[in-house]
Structure 1
Amino acid sequence: MKSIRKIQLHGRVVFLRVDFNVPLNEAGEITEDGRIKAALTTIEYLIQQGARVVIGSHLGRPKGQVVEKLRMRPAAKRLSELLGQEVKYVKDCVGEEVQQVQDNLKNREVMLLENLRFYPQETANDLRFAEQLAHGVDVYITDAFGVIHRKHASTFGLPSLVFDKGVGFLIEEEIAALGRVMHGPEEPLVVLIGGVKISDKVEVIQNLAPQAACLLVGGGVANALLKGLGYDIGQSIVESDSVNKEQAGVDYSQMALTIWDKFIGEECGIDMTYPDGKPLGRIVHPIDFVAAPSTDEGAETRIIELGDAVPEGWMFLDIGPKTRALYVAILTEARTVFWNGPLGLFENPAYAEGSRVVAQAIADCEGYSVIGGGDTEVVIDQFGLKGQVSHLSTGGGASLAFLAKKELPGLAALE
């Protein structure tokens, strides 16, 4: 895998795959431009080196159709403002118009293609589509960390057709940050795993738990574990609806229990106990919850301690005050932290306190902290903590795949 620094760029057409999947409001205006800013260092470097820059990205989930509100025009406008120069926006990503603009690009000029996912061939990794994208391209650079775990035409097929290829500065930064968690992290390492799904986090837990002082769980991941341990969790969400045929019939509670059994008897590497004096294990689960009979605004809530009967129809929607205090105390002792997945239904202020408190604890931590993108990035942004963590990943699924040591097609294609 070659760095952008090692590639001759002057006067050459460079296809730069980025992740400009930014949030838009109803008026089609960008509400948060962090992903565009994250790619600026690479784009500015290409301009400084005299490259002719062709940028490709996706936006949203158009499902292979043209969706007017998901066009890349707002991204082109914002990128132009940030660069202080024109960004030529083309309302397609292949075809005669694209080729004409590309052929007329001068050194240090930039063009942005239309949403790649307007074509179903993009997500299908269609070779013909990849060949059209590759037409006239001298160099391929990827800085789209958020999609390097996807085998798509622009992330896998296209680079396979280009001889000179490598990674930009953003991906180098992502790999370095996640590498600090995986390889010889400063101890103690604390890993915090939440979110609804456990299926995409099993291998991450198995890889990081052995070297972690302790692994804290919350959200649906904790629910799956506690259900497997025989606790009453009421109607709390547990990953059960099959996402695809391969997952049909999977017992996610048993999956969580298998992980628990693997580390049972192993003590937490931080000298601390549960409030009742029991020693912490390697995996630490919530001991109380904010519960409600529904997720509706204004629903009645109460604190339910683990082991108590859960009223019929009620569900856990956030970690409770005792768990918050315990998790904050553990995070305060950490020298390295990795967090992926909120600890409750944070979109509702009534169930956001758990995620807010641990986010603040991580921001206050004196050690090195990595936030694993996705909804966790939204949490950090929601509570105004961007810039207060060591590294905020631009890829939730990609960071999990990297830490699970899975092959990443977007990087494999660069070999």
Structure 2
Amino acid sequence: MKKSVESLKEEDLSGKRVLVRVDMNVPMDRNGNITDDTRIRDAIPTIKYLIEHRARVILMARLGLPVGDIKNYSLKSLVPRLSELLGFQVMMANDCIGAEVENLVNALPEGGVLLLENLRLYKEEIFNDKNFASKLAYPADLYVNEAFGTSHRSYASTEGVASLLKPAVAGLLMRKELDYFVGVLEDPPKPFLAIVGGSKLSTKSLLIKSLMDKKVDTLLLGGGIIFTLLRAKGRCVGSSLVERHELNEAKSIMAYASAKNVRLLFPLDVMMADKHGAEAMTKVVRVTKIPNDDWMGLDIGPEAIKIYSETLDAAKTIFWNGPMGVYEYDKFAAGTKAIAEKLAELTEKGVTTIIAGGDSVAAVKKFGLADKMSLISTGRGASLELLKGKQLPGLVYLDAEE
């Protein structure tokens, strides 16, 4: 794991051509309109920092899934919003490599910003082609990685360019992510509590064991994963989601918790439903008394919410990944909302709160509490890979901090 990477330094920037890998893979509607500009806004502090220190800023990013044909995925659609956020007109290239790009970079004034065309033009990006990486790096003096969310992938624009262009440093948001995921979680202030939810245990088992390795004191469990664990303990769970092929792994997790002296906290009660949907009939049932019928658990219950909230009050560090229920429906959002509100309250009191994973981040945003947390990770898969102790290709060649 990369424990310490270099970040931006003021004295390195004046007049320099700075190539910045940003994550602007924003969702778009069928008409090409941005439906959520969060990823653009996340990059603005680093871009403004470079502008303020008279750098010449070259932005590269990817949008959409196709390779080659990008007529519906041109980054030109991002220019109006990016220009609005920066307060001046951003220049746009028709390609991401080649003579035109070099000419535009050479003509770029200090404090100017040039957005390169979609990296998806070239399959060489995905395959980390060294020749393509060298063409991306050629017009620049130094490299900044501000795309933490792609750092678990070996791309030409991340690993490739960083191996060729020096200095290669972390952007402001990237550095903040690393400070929390490597700095805080390597030696978290105690008590350290983690909340893990979501639907499938198969996607959470490595994370849960990694948290135990990091000496988490208590793991609060929610979401669909509890039913696979409960079934592994021999409990009836009705028609709740159970990954039968994960029952042995569930037993392994519980044994690992015992060996690591980690407390696994299950909800005392759950919100059951006769079907999955907004029109479902509901009832609260204690987990020890779930009947063997067609009802399914879709949220933690009110008693669980109370106990979980009281347990979290003792924490100094809290990590949260995965919702407590099917929060997309109001009937099953109470558990997830209560956890989000409790973490917002505790953050204000000085507790470190780290939210990672797409669903939990989306839930916190839905409830209007994203700005109340210590860190809302942009990393998605990258943050979880880092937490599991894996080396991220996008960090390997960033300069080490002295």
Task: Write out per-residue CA displacement over residues 237-272 of structure 1, whole angstroms, 9 at most, x where no aligned residue.
Answer: 3457xxxxxxxxxx33322321211222876xxxxx
Give the aligned partner of residue 49 of structure 2.
45
Give the aligned partner of residue 4 of structure 1.
8
Give the aligned partner of residue 251 of structure 2.
257
CA-based RMSD of the aligned residues comes to 2.5
Q: Identify the match of residue 149 of structure 1 among 142, 149, 152.
A: 152
Task: Write out per-residue CA displacement over residues 161-199 of structure 1, whole angstroms, 9 at most, x where no aligned residue.
Answer: 213211111111111122454233222211001123444
* Structure 2 SS opposite 1:304: strand
Residue 410 (str. 1) matches residue 390 (str. 2): no
Deviates more, 1:389-398 or 1:223-232: 223-232
Give the aligned partner of residue 272 of structure 1.
none
Q: Identity of counterpart residues, as a percentage?
A: 37
Residue 308 (str. 1) matches residue 289 (str. 2): yes
- Structure 2: gaps (5+ residues): none
Q: For the residues of structure 2 that align with 1:125 and 1:266, how far apart are their CA atoms?
A: 40
Give the aligned partner of residue 227 of structure 2.
223
CA contact (8 A) 1:209 1:282 kept: no
Q: For the residues of structure 2 that align with 1:97 and 1:401, how far apart are their CA atoms?
A: 38
Task: Write out per-residue CA displacement over residues 286-336 of structure 1, whole angstroms, 9 at most, x where no aligned residue.
Answer: 232222243233122222321334454432221122211211111122221
Amino acid aligned to 1:58: R
Q: How many residues align?
A: 391
Amino acid aligned to 1:224: T
Residue 232 (str. 1) matches residue 236 (str. 2): yes
Give the aligned partner of residue 359 of structure 2.
375
Q: Report the alpha carbon displacement of residue 22 of structure 1 after superposing the two structures with TM.
A: 2.9
TM-score normalised over the length of structure 1: 0.86
Q: For the residues of structure 2 that align with 1:68 and 1:349, how far apart are their CA atoms?
A: 39
- Greater relative contact order structure (CA < 8 Å, 6+ sep): 2
Q: For the residues of structure 1 that align with 2:337 and 2:32, how far apart are their CA atoms?
A: 29
Q: For the residues of structure 2 that align with 1:197 and 1:129, how far apart are their CA atoms?
A: 39
- Structure 1: gaps (5+ residues): 241-250, 268-280
CA contact (8 A) 1:194 1:220 kept: yes
Q: 1:10-409 alignment to 2 at 5 Å?
A: 10-59=14-63, 61-209=64-212, 211-238=215-242, 251-264=245-258, 282-365=263-346, 366=349, 367-409=351-393
Q: For the residues of structure 2 that align with 1:197 and 1:153, how far apart are their CA atoms?
A: 33
CA contact (8 A) 1:138 1:162 kept: yes
**Closer/same/farther in 2, CA of residues 142 and 295 from structure 1, 3 Å limit:** same
CA contact (8 A) 2:343 2:373 kept: yes
**Closer/same/farther in 2, CA of residues 263 and 42 from structure 1, 3 Å limit:** same
**Closer/same/farther in 2, CA of residues 74 and 350 from structure 1, 3 Å limit:** farther
CA contact (8 A) 1:181 1:338 kept: no
Give the aligned partner of residue 245 of structure 1.
none
Task: Write out per-residue CA displacement over residues 72-114 of structure 1, whole angstroms, 9 at most, x where no aligned residue.
Answer: 2343222211211221123433344434423322222111123
Q: Report the alpha carbon displacement of residue 25 of structure 1 after superposing the two structures with TM.
A: 4.2
Amino acid aligned to 1:159: A
Amino acid aligned to 1:120: K
TM-score normalised over the length of structure 2: 0.88
Amino acid aligned to 1:333: A
* Structure 2 SS opposite 1:55: strand
Q: For the residues of structure 2 that align with 1:70 and 1:236, how far apart are their CA atoms?
A: 40
Amino acid aligned to 2:125: E
Q: For the residues of structure 1 that align with 2:128 and 2:274, how far apart are their CA atoms?
A: 44
Q: For the residues of structure 2 that align with 1:104 and 1:130, how far apart are their CA atoms?
A: 22
Task: Write out per-residue CA displacement over residues 327-373 of structure 1, whole angstroms, 9 at most, x where no aligned residue.
Answer: 11111222211101111111122221111111111111121211114
Q: For the residues of structure 2 that align with 1:12 and 1:54, how far apart are their CA atoms?
A: 10
* Structure 1 SS opposite 2:353: strand
Amino acid aligned to 2:38: G
Q: Report the alpha carbon displacement of residue 11 of structure 1 after superposing the two structures with TM.
A: 2.5
**Closer/same/farther in 2, CA of residues 310 and 155 from structure 1, 3 Å limit:** farther
**Closer/same/farther in 2, CA of residues 65 and 324 from structure 1, 3 Å limit:** farther
Q: For the residues of structure 1 that align with 2:31 and 2:313, how far apart are their CA atoms?
A: 42
Q: For the residues of structure 1 that align with 2:387 and 2:162, how far apart are their CA atoms?
A: 23
CA contact (8 A) 1:340 1:396 kept: no
CA contact (8 A) 2:45 2:172 kept: yes
CA contact (8 A) 2:28 2:35 kept: yes
